[in-house]
Chains A and B, each alone.
Chain A
Amino acid sequence: DIQMTQSPASLSASLGETVTIECRASEDIYNGLAWYQQKPGKSPQLLIYNANSLHTGVPSRFSGSGSGTQYSLKINSLQSEDVASYFCQQYYDYPWTFGGGTKLELK
């Protein structure tokens, strides 16, 4: 199984700041990576797919990058509505696996 290691587990940042969340796969996943945002009490919402493609309706301050085993999600100019947990997920091979999540809070 492909293991997804996500860091940091928690993050505190100020409004307007740029934040980056990392995800490392235990083997090459050939950009088969998605990022999801989950706000408290809500279901996950797709942000990024294929490592760097922005899902419809997602603000352009979100971006994804990476290749091979190393991927990242960047949020530019942090807004209050970005307070949430973020998860990476590989869909290159079954079983699909998620990173442990990053809880983003406002400083």
Chain B
Amino acid sequence: EVQLVESGGGLVQPGRSLKLSCLASGFTFSNYGMNWIRQAPGKGLEWVASISSSSSYIYYADTVKGRFTISRDNAKNTLYLQMTSLRSEDTALYYCARHEGVMDAWGQGASVTVSS
């Protein structure tokens, strides 16, 4: 069974940093591109970042470019999102999702609240 489990969320002050992790199981992690998508409370979905299977290709939404870094460790079956210079508008539930063209498996999400 494909499983994606996010962790590392929490309450953080504006301007501070936080690192999310997503542990994958049930599939060959190194064969798939991976993504972070977020959903602000009561709002729609926003794609945040994508990384290819070998980390050769990385893409970011303009709203996080220069502040967030997506990375992966295929030996540990883990995806990361390093978030710096956090703002109140980054408050959201952050999902990781795998893709092979389309995002066909999603985790349950990690909650990030940016507030003083």
Contact = CB atoms under 8 A, between A and B. Distances in A.
Interface of A: 1, 34, 36, 38, 42-46, 49-50, 55, 87, 89, 91, 94-101
Contact of B44 (A1, A34, A87, A94): A87
B102 A95 contact: no
Closest 5 CB pairs of A and B: A49-B102, A96-B47, A43-B106, A98-B45, A94-B59
Interface of B: 35, 44-47, 50, 59-62, 95, 99, 101-109
A95 B104 contact: no
> Which of B44, B61, B95, B102 is the most central at the interface, judged by chain A CB atoms within 10 Å of its CB?
B102
Chain A interface mostly helix, strand, loop or mixed?
loop
A92 to B, nearest CB: 10
Contact of A49 (B60, B61, B62, B101): B101
